[in-house]
């Protein structure tokens, strides 16, 4: 393939490295990229190198930096192959698309080329090690076009070793190229950085990692759920090597249980919190249900989920809700239930509330990280969130203070109120009556929220339990508790539980209307009328129309 036909979008292929006599090779080694086309997520760097090779503008030293597992050492080896490839016919020159079949390409891939020297700076830190490189660099390459030194974790070299390398690094012989790789570029002296062409390898996006893992799973003959691969990609944090190691472990686990790599297995293996459980917990926190939230947390803890992992998942939920409120396009990898929940929370939560939740969770995450009792500290964080949800918005509180709003003066219309004791009213006999009472007392917005959003679990006044299986309007439980006490003079126990509950009153009314309309359409007279007049319409008492 010529340089002009190089395609960064080609699917990755398994490495062509030699077999190890039947010994199992882990996926991170087996699928190490052997061409630049197989290098994932580093398109900008590959394009720069391709242009430099085409125009003959090759630097004498390259510094490759980035987090673990993004391909620094693999890229260094690919550069070595690109510079020393001679093509299948033995007459080729440097190319961004090394053939992989000539002797230099195969020898470099197998790690046996005499002119490509790899050194681990973590175990060769001294000045004597560097002097050996300097002395050897004076001699021409034995069989290759360039003598190449690949120094991994170069930041581990001592100060004297760096100083010894400076002169040779600035004016190396024409036949020598230096390739440095490091995860901590800030520890490399500026004098060295200024003598190198630097490439910052990026974290690999999760969607690209998931696609790569899907290819590897298929090549290995193992089925894998897309959600499982997405979980592995997120856990890898941009590192292909870390992700392949996790996938290797998941495939081994699937070999025991059968059925391929499943999301539930990956969650258990990594100690991740189930997304549905996180949504339930977040809904309980917003509903102000302290007991329910702590119980949900303990269930996750008993399954082996780390308390920090729970708080991190809640942070991700707050962040996703904020993006949804901004109108950001939803992640196609999210489940439908999650997108619906995020949309509901985004509609009911203000930006101020979301920022407050973020700050409290972020502070709580730090506290749990250094706490002597992590699960207890996590419980206190959740209770702090619930308590904070009952506080007024800081801006609203500031306006109240500025306006000097006095507390409502007690009425003297009755001896009971003059004595400071609220008058107890009769409690509504049903949930529907309770909503009607609120509407009669002027709480129209609260009555509408209960009608449209509240799913009843239990009504035993003065106890009211609502379902949190779907997101409830923010502060609904707290507001309802306050208003019912004000209106009835009784202390109500309003809470939310993670159960399905009854349909909302609005859903019940709509179901009744549909049933009534269906019954009318089934009467003999109406059937005969529609048979005689197919274009006729039935107009119900609600003003809606139905056609046959």
pLDDT recorded at residue 9? 39
The stretch 520-535 carries a mean pLDDT of 77
Between residues 24 and 197, the one the model is more confident about = 197
pLDDT recorded at residue 24? 80
pLDDT in tens, 423-460: 446 789 889 989 989 988 888 888 888 988 889 998 98
Answer yes or no: is pLDDT of 283 > 80. yes
CATH 2.60.40.10 fits 275-392, yes or no: no
How far apart (Å, rounded) are the C-alpha atoms in residues 482 and 503? 24
Right CATH for 3-200 from 3.20.20.70, 3.40.50.300, 3.90.420.10, 3.40.30.10: 3.40.50.300
| pLDDT band (50, 70, 90) for residue 272 | low
pLDDT in tens, 81-101: 999 999 898 888 888 889 889
pLDDT in tens, 463-479: 898 988 778 887 788 88
pLDDT recorded at residue 409? 37
Domain boundaries, the chain: 3-200, 206-270, 275-392, 423-497, 505-547
The stretch 509-537 carries a mean pLDDT of 79
How far apart (Å, rounded) are the C-alpha atoms in residues 257 and 419? 70
Pair 361, 235: CB distance under 8 Å = no
Tokens of 343: 């949309």
Strand, helix or coil at 450? helix
The stretch 166-194 carries a mean pLDDT of 90
pLDDT recorded at residue 398? 63
- Tell me whether domains 3-200 and 275-392 share a fold: no
Tokens of 366: 């730090």
- Given this structure, which CATH class describes domain 206-270? mainly alpha
Tokens of 224: 């894998």
CATH 1.10.10 fits 423-497, yes or no: no
Answer yes or no: is pLDDT of 402 > 90. no
Mean pLDDT of the chain: 82
Pair 311, 378: CB distance under 8 Å = yes
- Backbone dihedral angles phi then psi of residue 87, each to the nearest 5 degrees: 80, 165
Pair 381, 367: CB distance under 8 Å = yes
| pLDDT band (50, 70, 90) for residue 344 | confident
How far apart (Å, rounded) are the C-alpha atoms in residues 319 and 285? 16
DSSP codes, 137-184: HTSPPSSSSSEEEEEETGGGS-HHHHHHHHHHHHS--TTEEEEEEES-
Interacting residues of 77 by C-beta distance below 8 A, sequence separation 6+ = 108, 109, 116, 150
Pair 62, 79: CB distance under 8 Å = yes
Strand-by-strand arrangement of the 493-497 sheet: 456-460, 463-467, 493-497
pLDDT recorded at residue 367? 93
| pLDDT band (50, 70, 90) for residue 347 | confident
How far apart (Å, rounded) are the C-alpha atoms in residues 478 and 288? 7
User: Phi-psi bin for 360: left (phi > 0), alpha (psi -120 to 50), beta?
Assistant: alpha
| pLDDT band (50, 70, 90) for residue 396 | low
């Amino acid at each position: 393939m010529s340089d002009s036909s190089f395609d960064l979008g080609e699917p990755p292929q398994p490495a062509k490295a030699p077999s190890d006599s039947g010994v199992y090779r882990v996926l991170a080694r087996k699928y190490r990229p052997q061409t630049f086309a197989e290098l994932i997520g580093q398109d900008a760097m590959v394009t720069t190198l391709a242009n430099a090779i085409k125009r003959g503008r090759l630097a004498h030293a390259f510094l490759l930096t980035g987090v673990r597992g993004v391909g620094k050492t693999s890229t260094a080896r690919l550069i070595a192959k690109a510079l020393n490839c001679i093509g299948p016919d033995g007459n080729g020159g440097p190319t961004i698309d090394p053939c992989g079949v000539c002797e230099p390409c195969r020898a470099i891939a197998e790690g046996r080329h005499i002119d490509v020297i790899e050194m681990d700076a973590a175990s060769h830190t001294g000045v004597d090690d560097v002097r050996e490189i300097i002395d050897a660099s004076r001699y021409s390459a034995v069989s290759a076009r360039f003598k190449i030194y690949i120094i991994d974790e170069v930041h581990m070299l001592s100060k004297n070793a760096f100083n010894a390398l400076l002169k040779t690094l600035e004016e190396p012989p024409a036949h020598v190229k230096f390739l440095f790789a490091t995860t901590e570029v800030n520890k490399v002296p500026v004098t060295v950085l200024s003598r190198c062409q630097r490439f910052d390898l990026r974290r690999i996006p999760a969607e690209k990692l998931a696609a790569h893992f899907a290819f590897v799973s298929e090549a290995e003959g193992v089925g894998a759920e897309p959600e499982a691969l997405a979980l592995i990609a997120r856990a890898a944090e941009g590192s292909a090597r870390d992700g392949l190691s996790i996938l290797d472990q998941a495939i081994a686990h699937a070999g025991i249980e059968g059925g391929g790599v499943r999301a539930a297995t990956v969650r258990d293996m990594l100690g991740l919190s189930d997304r549905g459980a996180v949504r339930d917990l977040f809904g309980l926190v917003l509903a102000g249900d302290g007991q329910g939230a702590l119980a949900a947390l303990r269930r996750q803890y008993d399954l082996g989920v780390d308390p920090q992992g729970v708080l991190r998942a809640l942070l991700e939920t707050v962040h996703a809700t904020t993006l949804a409120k901004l109108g950001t396009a939803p992640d196609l990898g999210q489940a439908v239930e999650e997108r619906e929940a995020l949309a509901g929370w985004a509609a009911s939560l203000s930006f101020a509330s979301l920022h407050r939740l973020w700050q409290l969770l972020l502070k709580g995450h730090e506290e749990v990280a250094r706490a002597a009792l992590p699960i207890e500290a996590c419980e206190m964080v959740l209770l702090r969130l619930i308590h904070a949800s009952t506080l007024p918005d800081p801006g609203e509180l500031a306006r109240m203070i500025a306006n000097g709003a006095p507390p409502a003066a007690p009425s003297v219309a009755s001896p009971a109120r003059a004595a400071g004791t609220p008058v107890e009213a009769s409690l509504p006999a049903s949930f529907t009556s309770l909503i009607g009472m609120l509407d009669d007392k002027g709480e129209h917005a609260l009555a509408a929220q209960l009608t449209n959003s509240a799913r009843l679990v239990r009504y035993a006044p003065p106890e009211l339990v609502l379902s949190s299986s779907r997101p409830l309007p923010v502060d609904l439980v707290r507001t309802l508790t306050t208003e019912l006490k004000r209106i009835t003079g009784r202390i109500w126990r309003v809470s939310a539980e993670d159960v399905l509950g009854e349909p909302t009153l609005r859903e019940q009314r709509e179901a009744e209307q549909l049933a009534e309309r269906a019954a009318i359409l089934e009467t003999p007279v109406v059937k005969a009328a529609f048979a005689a007049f197919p274009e006729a319409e039935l107009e119900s008492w609600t003003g809606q129309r139905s056609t046959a």
